[in-house]
Amino acid sequence: MSTVSQLSGAEIVEWCDTTHHSTGNAPLDEWVAVCEISELQPERGVAALVGGGQVALFRTHDDELYALDNRDPFSGAYVLSRGIVGTRGDAPTLASPMYKQVFDLRTGACLDDDSVRVATYDVRVVAGRVEVRSR
């Protein structure tokens, strides 16, 4: 079962598993609405298609929002949105569900391998809608 709605010209599809998709080709460097803030559960990730690429979107327990590329650089699978949100020191983190490498949600840096980083995206909330800047 799914519901479909339109936000800023981007199609949003919500499945029961809280995966979200924004389809269409958003122009580069434009903000794309992907979901309502109320749809994001703290410490859980969702996936969205933004500008033709997969983005993993997270809301932490302190209501901060982060967006990373959804592709796990170690396995090549698009699964980071299914990762485990946590902290390491004062850094909000995401552990990959594949091989458990940990990434800093703020920078995309892999905390287990300094040579690896995933792309980060700007994210904001406007009138209750979560928007991600396309690339």
55 phi/psi in degrees, rounded to 5 = -120, 135
pLDDT over threshold 60, residue 24: no
Q: CB-based burial of residue 89 (10 Å sphere; 0-12 exposed, 13-18 middle, 19+ buried)?
A: exposed
2-82+123-133, CATH topology level: Rieske Iron-sulfur Protein (2.102.10)
Q: CB-based burial of residue 80 (10 Å sphere; 0-12 exposed, 13-18 middle, 19+ buried)?
A: buried
Mean pLDDT rounded to a whole number for the chain: 85
Q: What is the per-residue pLDDT across 34-82, written as a single tens digit (0 to 9) for each?
A: 999 999 999 999 999 998 999 999 999 999 999 999 999 999 999 999 9
Model-level pTM? 0.80
